[in-house]
Chain A
Amino acid sequence: MIWLLCGLILIAASGVPGLFTRREGAGAERLACGLILAGALPCAWALVFACGVPRQAISWAWAVPAGRFALQLDSLSAVFVAPLLLIVAAGSIYGLGYWPQLRNPATGRKLRLFYGLISAAMLLLLTARNGVLFLLAWEVMALSGYFLITTEDRRVEVRRAGYIYLVATHCGTLALFGLFVMLEQTSGSMMFPATASLPAAGGSLIFLLGLFGFGMKAGLMPLHVWLPGAHAAAPSHASALLSGVMIKTGIYGLVRLTSFYADIPAWWGWTVLLLGAVSGVLGVALAIAQHDIKRLLAYHSVENIGIIALGLGLALLGRSYGQPTLVVLGLSGCLLHVVNHGLFKSLLFMSAGSLIHAVGSREIDHFGGLLKRQRWTGLLFLGGAVAICGLPPFNGFVSEWLIYLGAFETIKLPGSSLSLSLLAAPSLALIGGLALACFVKVFGVSFLGEPRSAAAAQAHESPRVMLWPMGMLLLACIWIGLLPTSLRPVLEQTAADWTGVRSLPRLAGEMAPLGAISLAGWLLLGLLLLAGWWLRRRSADAPRDLATWGCGYRFPVSRMQYTASSFADGLVRQFRFALRSERHGGHITGLFPDREDLFSHTPDLVLDRTLSPLFTGLAGLFHRLRRLIQNGIAAIYLLYIALALIILLALLGF
């Protein structure tokens, strides 16, 4: 545990030396990267023992009222800490190439300072066992996140995204303050209660507060308003950290909170399950309609949080209805998907950053044909895309498959209302299919075909310092996809820690044949390599001067290709009832029509369609009200005083 604390301090301080160096010096960024790596190592060392030693904890007195510096690293924390360390380390190396101090003298130092701070705050948050300490870490994380998002604060849309994030995160924190105060009144102390020690009675309000506060951070569907803008605005490796790790702290909070209760009311599970399905389907539908690659990836985060919530909902239902198999499958799927999404989403954000680095734009329609110019980035992006679509042999498949198994588990109980949760399976299938369509669009439009802009035609491969961390993440994805059995002990231990029950079913054999998955993965990989080799040999003598998607023209131009909008148009129309995309132009009349333009734009369902008009209206109302009340006439102000006096007297009298 001391190791973890040392690493945490090193990571937190990683950006500090840079503040005292020259603006144009490159030494400080290498030092910061080295400090983060040096801090991640002892943390990883502590992690190795997390599952073996039952109690790894420190508990020191702390001068803060009701606070105690209590840390503990159990398997539930470890599941979240492990991807955190990998992604933080990968991101800090990647940042050397993506955001070098020499080219960003104004923002580089700030970015590295808060990168280190947010990483350390998340480590503290995931291991804290005291409510005050947790809230402290939570607030440091939220504020550092704000400064990461507003790294380029000279641009107006970045400031707007940061502002929305700040408002959202503070609403969430407010709910968490309420939550911990109520928890303190139930359990009698600000320390986290032991697993399965609280009765469910009186817990419903606490759960709802947690669902709001943690759901806001995680980005569950109606609460995701801050997420797309914030992820798009931050530098790519910071987006990777925010999307890969930070939003998972919301999931951690929910999982930790539900572990305190001995019995879980059924409606908790149903609520989480329903929210998960809505987030998943609408998140991916919104993702398809985006043209900005980072916004698109951000909406995929909403989708994946939906999948994670589906798993958590199944596990909660399993506890309410006394189905240990369902608990193990649901929770394992949920937590494995937390790890997986952290890995492949940060990989995707980093490779998207590599594209942006090369082309200088976030619009998918400015890319095109990049596979020829950025071969490695393309391969890494493809790996991440296959993983996020939940296809074997990568890791996304394993976790989604566990959730499928959990959903099918409910068939075995005919007649119970639990079998309704079978509906998780078709929504998961719908999510998977749409995600596949979305990444076919992204990969096809950006990497295949012909360059759509001059910048894309002159794109160059990113430096190795950016490619290696991405390769590391892809390796981790492949490892989980091909050797899922290696994670079995951790997942089983976590399920036991979550429920407080030692004799849960094993994650093996008939129930979850992980070994078979592993075997099938290897076979598929071999088959793919064989097919690739064969195709390569066949295409060796094919003519090379023809453009991709040339449609039979001898001299095609890049404008003949599918654009991001036109490729997705069919699917977006299917979801018109929910997305309400705006289309401008595109009406062709006559036999020889003039030049015609078509634009489509999909504003966010909640933020742009609901909250913005609502708040604008409220602001206008209050503005008018203020002008009415605060009119500058002294006599009216005196009237207010008299009224206040009379009301106070009346309160006293009656």
Chain B
Amino acid sequence: MANLLLLAVILINFYTLGSARLVACIRAVALQGALLALLPLVIHGPSGHALLLGLGALAFKGVFIPWLLLRAIREIRIRREMEPYIGFVATLLLGVLLTAGALIFADFLPLAKEHLGGLSVPAALATMFSGFLLLITRRKALTQVLGYLVMENGIFIFAVLLSEAIPLMVEAGILLDLLVGIFVMGIVLNHINQEFSTINTERLTALKE
């Protein structure tokens, strides 16, 4: 069951990497967040801790942040990611390579016994790499926010593995960090849009030292 969930997460990674439509991407990431919210329950059983974690993840990742992003998109009126630094097909291929790499690489990591063999670690790595890939290859600030979200999802998978060890407060802290980060990005997004009447980040290169 857990492996099935993780497989779906990886597939959603590919979808976000290969899709040019922003609304669809946001929805896919929202779906990814919702699927991940199930993960603590599936792995650790229906305990109070897992339930709380799942509900928090669902509320933030599955509902609140996607809603924020969709609203932002309505306000700045863009629908598609045009002209990324690296083309969609190439990004997709890179994503496949990185995922395969993560699968191979996870075998070499000195893991605890109960984590060996499962899909959790490779999926976490693959999701983080996909997030990075989104961040690096896309021009629009909005897609970069999506990249951060995907990357955070990867971290979340790791965190679920350790949710017995990590206190609730730390997880709550991570979620809060993410929320604040998205808020700030949203505000910056609007300002970039007002200033340059576009949200392409390449205009920001003049800020280098």
Interface residues of A (CB under 8 A from B): 630-636, 638-639, 641-642, 645, 649-650, 652-654
Determine how close the nearest CB of chain A comes to the CB of B124; give it in whole angstroms.
12
Judge whether A649 and B105 touch: CB under 8 Å: yes
CA distance A649 to B208 in the complex (A): 29
A635 adjacent to B137 (CB under 8 Å): yes
Q: Is B112 an interface residue (CB 8 A)?
A: no
- Other A-B contacts than A632-B206, A652-B110, 9 sampled, CB-CB below 8 A, are A631-B205, A632-B204, A634-B144, A636-B136, A638-B132, A653-B105, A653-B108, A653-B109, A653-B110
Minimum CB–CB distance from A10 to chain B (whole Å) comes to 50
On whether the beta carbons of B132 and A635 are closer than 8 Å, the reply is: no
Point out the residues of chain B lying under 8 angstroms from A630, CB to CB: 208-209
Q: Which chain B residues numbered 163 to 209 have a C-beta less than 8 Å away from chain A?
A: 201-202, 204-209
List the A side residues contacting B205 at CB < 8 Å: 631-633
Taking CB atoms, residues of chain B closer than 8 Å to A634 are: 144, 201, 204
- The CA-CA distance from A633 to B206 in the complex, in Å, is 9
Residues of B within 8 Å of A649, CB to CB, are 105, 109, 125
Q: Are B132 and A654 in contact (CB under 8 A)?
A: no
Tally the A-B contacts, defined by beta carbons under 8 Å: 43
**Which residues of A lie under 8 Å from residue B135 when comparing CB positions?**
635, 638
Q: Mark B106-124, 1 if CB is under 8 A from A, else 0.
A: 0011100000000000000
Shortest Cβ gap from A186 to chain B (Å):
39
Q: Does B129 contact A (CB under 8 A)?
A: yes
The interface residues of chain B lying within 8 Å CB-to-CB of A635 are 85, 135-139, 201
Going nearest first, the 5 A-B pairs with the smallest beta carbon separation are A632-B208, A632-B205, A653-B108, A642-B132, A638-B135
Q: Determine whether the beta carbon of A642 is less than 8 Å from that of B105.
A: no
Within 8 A of A (CB), among B31-90: 85
Contact A632 B207, beta carbon cutoff 8 Å: yes
Residues of B within 8 A of A639 (CB): 132, 136
B contact residues, total (Cβ < 8 Å):
22
Cβ-closest chain B residue relative to A626:
B209
B-side contacts of A654, CB under 8 Å: 108
For B125, list chain A residues within 8 Å (CB): 649
Find the residue from A639, A642, A652 having the highest chain B CB count within 10 A: A642
Q: B128's closest neighbor in chain A, by CB?
A: A645
When distances are taken between beta carbons in the complex, the residues of chain B under 8 Å from A632 are 204-208
User: What would 22 A/B residue contacts be, using CB atoms closer than 8 Å?
Assistant: A631-B205, A632-B205, A632-B206, A632-B207, A632-B208, A633-B205, A634-B201, A635-B135, A635-B138, A635-B139, A635-B201, A638-B132, A638-B135, A638-B136, A642-B129, A642-B132, A649-B109, A649-B125, A650-B105, A652-B109, A653-B108, A654-B108
Min distance, Cβ B118 to any Cβ of chain A, angstroms: 17
B152 CB to closest chain A CB, in angstroms? 14
Chain B proximity of A487: nearest CB distance (Å): 61
Q: Counting chain A CB atoms within 10 Å of each CB, which of B132, B136, B204 scores highest?
A: B136
Who on chain A is nearest to B138 by CB?
A635
A231 to B135, CA, bound (A): 57
B positions within 8 Å CB-CB of A: 85, 105, 108-110, 125, 129, 132, 135-139, 144, 201-202, 204-209
Task: Give bound CA distance, A653 to B137, whole Å.
Answer: 27
Distance, CA A653 to CA B109, complexed state (A): 5
Which residue on A lies nearest to B135, using beta carbons?
A638
Using Cβ atoms and an 8 Å threshold, which residues of chain A touch B138? Answer: 635
B206 neighbours in A (Cβ, 8 Å): 632
Q: Which residues of B contact A652 (CB under 8 A)?
A: 109-110
Quick one: which of B85, B110, B208 contacts A631, CB cutoff 8 A? B208
Closest residue of B by beta carbon distance from A646: B129
Q: Which has the most chain B C-beta neighbours within 10 Å: A633, A641, A652?
A: A633
Alpha-carbon distance between A631 and B207 when the two chains are bound, in angstroms: 10
What is the CA–CA distance of A649 and B106 in the complex, to the nearest angstrom? 10
**Which of A635, A636, A641, A645 is most buried by chain B, counting CB atoms within 10 A of its CB?**
A635
A630 to B209 alpha-carbon distance, docked (Å): 8
A613 CA / B105 CA spacing, docked (Å): 47
Q: Nearest chain-A residue to B84 (Cβ)?
A: A635
Q: Which residues of A contact B204 (CB under 8 A)?
A: 632, 634
Residues of A near B207 (CB, < 8 A) are 632
Per the bound structure, the CA–CA distance linking A649 and B121 in Å amounts to 13
Could you tell me the distance between the alpha carbons of A50 and B28 in the complex, rounded to whole angstroms? Answer: 87
Q: State in angstroms the CA–CA spacing of A311 and B110 once bound together.
A: 62
Report the nearest B residue to A630, measured CB to CB. Answer: B208
B-chain residues with CB within 8 Å of residue A650 when the two chains form the complex: 105
**Distance (Å) between the CB of A166 and the closest chain B CB?**
25
Q: Whole-angstrom distance between the alpha carbons of A634 and B206 in the complex?
A: 11
Residues of A within 8 A of B110 (CB): 652-653
Closest to B129 in A: A642
Task: Looking at the assembled complex, report how far the CB atom of B194 sits from the nearest CB atom of chain A, in whole angstroms.
Answer: 19
CB-nearest residue of chain B to A653 = B108
Cα distance A509–B144 in the bound complex, in angstroms: 91
Question: From residue B91, how far is it (CB to closest CB) to chain A in Å?
Answer: 12
List, in ascending order, chain A residues with CB within 8 A of B144's CB: 634
How far, in angstroms, from A129 to B201 measured CA to CA in the complex?
62
When chains A and B are docked, how far (Å) is the Cα of A633 from the Cα of B144? 13
Per the bound structure, the CA–CA distance linking A639 and B136 in Å amounts to 6
**Complex Cα distance A594/B208, Å?**
58
Of listed B105, B129, B209, residue having the most chain A CB within 10 A: B105
Specify which chain A residues have a CB less than 8 angstroms from the CB of B201 in the assembled complex: 634-635
Report the bound CA distance from A636 to B137 in whole Å.
9
Residue of A nearest to B201 (CB): A634
In the complex formed, the residue of B with least CB distance to A649 is B105
Return B201 CB to nearest CB of chain A, in Å: 6
Q: A residues within 8 A CB of B139?
A: 635
CB < 8 Å neighbour of B202 from A633, A638, A642: A633
**Chain A residue nearest to B132 in the complex (CB):** A642
Nearest residue, chain B, Cβ from A642: B132
Separation in Å of the B67 CB from the closest CB of chain A? 26
Chain A's closest residue to B202 (CB) is A633
Task: Give the residue among A631, A638, A653, A654 with the most B Cβ atoms within 10 A.
Answer: A638
CB distance from A7 to the nearest CB of B (A): 51
Bound together, the chains give a CA A638 to CA B205 distance in angstroms of: 14
A642 touching B208 in the complex, CB below 8 Å, given contacts A633-B202, A649-B105: no
Q: How far is the CA of A262 from the CA of B202 in the complex (A)?
A: 68
B136 cross-chain contacts in A, Cβ below 8 A: 635-636, 638-639, 642
Min CB–CB distance B157 → chain A (angstroms): 15
